[in-house]
Amino acid sequence: MIRVGIVGGTGYTAGELIRILINHPDVEIVSITSTSSAGKPIYETHRELIGETELLFSEKLAPCDVIFLCLGHGISREFLTNNPIEDSCKVIDLGNDFRLDGTFGERSFTYGLTDLNKEAIQKSDNVANPGCFATAIQLALLPLVKEGLISDEIHIHAITGSTGAGKSLTGTSHFSYRDNNISVYKSFTHQHLGEIKKTLSAMNGSEIPEINFVPMRGDFPRGIFASLYTECSIEDSEKVANLYKEYYNDSPFVHYSDKGISLKEVINTNKCLIHTELHNGKIHITSIIDNLIKGASGQAVENMNLMFGLDQKRGLSLKPSTF
């Protein structure tokens, strides 16, 4: 059994991670730390786990084989500095601390986009889990970049559920603000742009053209719906579809849809669905994920599976909530 420790266990991504891992056949959760809830049952915070586990939050991390860092952005480096762990213990960071700069002392972090870096992840002891928007957007563009088909600016509108803002209450995460409301935030400046540009430019062999990204807050709890378009020299829709199907042929979770897609088809799953259309010399791509699973905790478990030589799908057969 893989002994798992979770650092920072009270947030949304930690809750999803616990839900997945308590049902993972090869995992034993040995500790879930929380400075604010130490000694209390996990289900008091994550109410959906009543009857599923009797685990308690702990103040300190027990010896384990892998730790998942579910901390606020910028805190993972501080934690590892102040809490030295055994060299044999693997680390998966769900924050943004190691996505752009993967160096930390003797540790070197691999960027954990599983559908791009599978072989590198299998050989790595430290992984930086991608951001949720970054996952949906990169998966939409990887096949085009691989074929050298990105020659002009990329335009993106992507809408995310309220869980993407985390549990800490703010003026824009109140029910009274979110309900029946949509708003734009961090236009052209979102923090995930850095990792998107870094990954795609490396794959492209040169700097990727300008990415114009407008994120939006949705009036729903979870999920990301990304809508992208750019110039495209291919004029045959079937050729484009086959390009995507071939690229993701061996992917257990990324699937191309010949028909238009809707967000509920991926909610509560680790899937990404992609659809494309051609319009007047442009390609329009839609890409959808559950921001808490494929965009966070599910992909983190994929990374763990690969790091320990397990089937990539192990413990991730989840049913979508379509109605």
Residues shown for the chain: 323
Q: Is 272 among the residues known to form the active site?
A: no
First vs last C-alpha separation in the chain: 36
Element (H, E) at 111: strand 110-111
Cβ proximity of 10 and 49 under 8 Å: no
Beta bridge partners of 7: 33, 69
Cβ proximity of 184 and 214 under 8 Å: yes
Between β-strands 154-160 and 224-231, what pairing exists: parallel, antiparallel or unpaired? Answer: antiparallel
Catalytic residue among 64, 70, 132, 232: 132
Cβ proximity of 66 and 304 under 8 Å: yes
Cβ proximity of 282 and 231 under 8 Å: yes
DSSP label at 305? H
Nearest to 201 by CA among 191, 193, 212: 193
Element (H, E) at 313: none
Residue 103, number of CB atoms within 10 A of its CB: 10
Distance of CA 69 to the CA centre of its chain: 14
Q: Is 257 exposed, middle or buried (0-12, 13-18, 19+ CB in 10 A)?
A: middle
DSSP label at 136? H
The catalytic residues are: 132
